[in-house]
Structure 1
Amino acid sequence: YVTTKEKGSGNTSTCASIGKLVLNAGKKPGYIKPVLSAGNDGDAVFVKDVLSLDEPVEVLSPVISGSNIAARIKEAVTMVSQGKDAVIIDGPPEYYQSSSEIAKKLNAKLLIVEPYTEDIPQTITGYKGFGQSLIGVIFNKVPERRMDKVTGEDAEHLTKAGIQYLGAIQEDRALSALTVGELAACIAGKFICGEEKSEDLIENLMIGALTVDSGPEYFGRKENKAAIIRSERPDMQLAAISTSTKCLVLTGETPLKPAVKIKAEEKEIPVITTSEGSAEIMERVEAVLANPGPNQVSKLARFEKLMKQNIDLDILSKELGL
């Protein structure tokens, strides 16, 4: 049972990574994420695909609310556990305070994914309340400047309190990035070319219209970016294409110049058109980033790599019987 107190803490990425760990050991994983309201849960859809699960999404994300939560989750877990070697339960933040009760009811091991906090020692008392079912704690989204403190002083505090420190994952820009396809969707954009690159990750946004000198030197300041440029400025468009650009977003009504399209296709850079202005695009992107959707395969691959580098997977494997 993987639990967290905050949305966006990396709980589902952790569950998917553990599921992949089970798969790579030649075993069959199961997954379930209880939800509070009806409707296909994006996380469950994603994990179903990643782990090639047979159950319908409705079974993997059952609606469980009200009383007797632990007993109802147990019933739901029973449905997905047949023929599985290990079942990973993606506990929603709303059930965090009930995690110990749920884990006991399921006879499950408990793993906490803790988003970074400045005062980790203050959380230790809360961890003790989870009892013997607690495997340990993973800290996620730790700022680079705090990694030494978390892996040193804070880890020592946990160990002295009898709580297993499993590791810490540094804050990673790529994990909070949009894909090209997500960007196109959130700005109601249309692909002129390069739609096959929809899963590529965008780490930066640049607006060409904000400076007079929007040449290669300007666009070269940021890598893996989406360049947002007026459609009547092919000079800026070509300048952006000549640098590390993940996609070109054109605003306005002017048709794309053939020379720009040819160059974009040569460099496999998607070109997206939209009726939105630059300011509206930034507002929409900020809104999407504030409420991130399900993780993409490319993000999961990055998260798995960080897990292998920073988390004690031997302990997790042992607890899962791998």
Structure 2
Amino acid sequence: MVTLYITSLVRGSGKTALCTGIGRHLLREGKKVGFFKIVLRNQGTTSDSIDSDAAFMQRILLLEEPVEQVYPVLSDSSGPPNRVKEAFDQVSRGKDVMIIEGEANPDIVKVLGARAIIVDSTTESPGDALITAGRSFGDSLLGIVLNKVPEGMAEVVRNQAPAALSSEGMNVLAVIPENHALFTLTIGQVAEYVQGEFLNNSEKSEELVENLMLGALTLDTGPLYYERKANKAAILRSERSDMQLAALQTPTKCLVLSGRQALLPQIMNEAEDKGVPIIQTEDDIATIVSNIEDALVNNRFNQENKLPILTGLIEQYFDFPALYKEAGLTT
């Protein structure tokens, strides 16, 4: 059995997305894939987020094990590697490949006999922190993935990073450009974070919002303004029916309205005809924007409708032949 340990230096680097992409590829290759995420009590992870993430991975990777085995919550007191090993042994039976998501911990990697892949979200060449982390894993390090690289920097990083890290004995397995669609919110998440109420079309809550447009302060209220971005959430005041109608005449995923003024029948009818949900909240525009910004910062990769985007990125940029060779996997 091959064990891959996916880790990072900071949260939000893309560990879960990479685990998902690698796991899906291996499943298509006919491998029996298991997944295991180490959750420590002091990380502040809520039971709701654990349940949501675990249910997602169970569906995507076709896992049969119960949540408490896939996502064991462990104390971080003395000797965690041995307790991790006990939990790992329960869930790894009969698997060809085990994929583990966890914090950067060389001791756990050694105890599990795993090969580590470090995911680093970077805007420039690899820094000292990444090189130091790579060295700490020694021979257990399989490679580095540079993720969320801005499109304008991707080619430069792709040309320079492998040589820089190769001099340290580290392989670059992928340089993956940033793709904002992976970190967008669903309409339902938007409604949740702004504490809003669906006035219609709530069945579209799982659709993705690719852009945000703030119309409350603009002088241009016409469709030409709203045509600048497609598949957007337009954030507007509830009394601005002119802006609401203009947004509905362009590719809009939902309207987010501030205030409790009743909407004109014309707006509701147009939204129904176009299939555009309207979300209304008592919060002011500034609060709505702040809440959505917080949601984007803390957004997690756990929605099936993002899978095609992720799969395309992983298949295009990840060096699977190198993974197979270094990990001792057969095709």
TM over 0.5: yes
- Specify which of 63, 66, 69 is matched with residue 80 of structure 2: 69
1:212 shift after superposition: 3.1
Q: Hey, what does 1:85 align to over in structure 2?
A: 96
Segments of 5+ residues of structure 2 without an aligned counterpart are none
Q: Residue 174 of structure 1: CA displacement?
A: 1.5
Change (3 A) 1:63 1:193: same
Match of 1:184 in 2: 191
Aligned residue number for residue 59 of structure 2: 49
Pairing 1:281–2:288 present: yes
Residue 285 of structure 1 deviates from its aligned partner by: 0.9
2:31 is matched with which residue? Answer: 27
Q: State the Cα distance separating 1:68 from its structure 2 match.
A: 1.8
Alignment-mate amino acid for residue 120 of structure 1: P
Distance in 1, matches of 2:189 and 2:63, equals 24
Deviates further, 15-24 or 308-317? 308-317
Show the counterpart of 1:311: 318
State the identity as a percent. Answer: 44
Per-residue displacement from partner, 1:208-247 (whole Å, max 9, x unpaired)?
A: 2212321101111222211112223322212101112111
Mapping of 1:153-168 within 5 angstroms? 153-168=160-175
Question: What letter matches 2:108 in structure 1?
Answer: I
1:1-322 equivalences in 2 (<5 Å): 1-37=5-41, 39-40=46-47, 41=50, 42-64=52-74, 65-92=76-103, 96=104, 98-99=105-106, 101-116=107-122, 118-120=124-126, 122=128, 123-318=130-325, 319=327, 320-322=329-331
Q: Which amino acid aligns with 1:52?
A: L
Supply the AA of the counterpart residue of 1:32. F
Offset from partner CA, 1:39-88 (integer Å, 9 cap, x none): 43243332123223222222211122122222221111111112322211
* TM-score, normalised with respect to structure 2: 0.88
Moved more, 131-140 or 292-301: 292-301
Residues 232 and 269 of structure 1, relative CA distance in 2, 3 Å threshold: same
Letter in 1 for 2:273: E
Distance 1:176 1:193 in 2: 25
CA distance in 2, matches of 1:295, 1:10: 11
1:191–1:273 contact (8 Å) kept in structure 2: yes
Contact 1:121–1:154 under 8 Å retained in 2: no
Distance 2:123 2:89 in 1: 35
Gaps of 5+ in 1: none
Task: Say whether the 8 Å CA contact 1:138–1:166 is kept in structure 2.
Answer: yes
> Take 1:239 and 1:317, find their aligned partners in 2: how far apart are those partners?
53
CA pair 125-39 structure 1, distance change in 2 beyond 3 A: closer
Distance 2:239 2:115 in 1: 59
User: Do the aligned partners of residues 245 and 57 (structure 1) sit closer, same or farther apart at CA in structure 2, a change above 3 Å counting?
Assistant: same
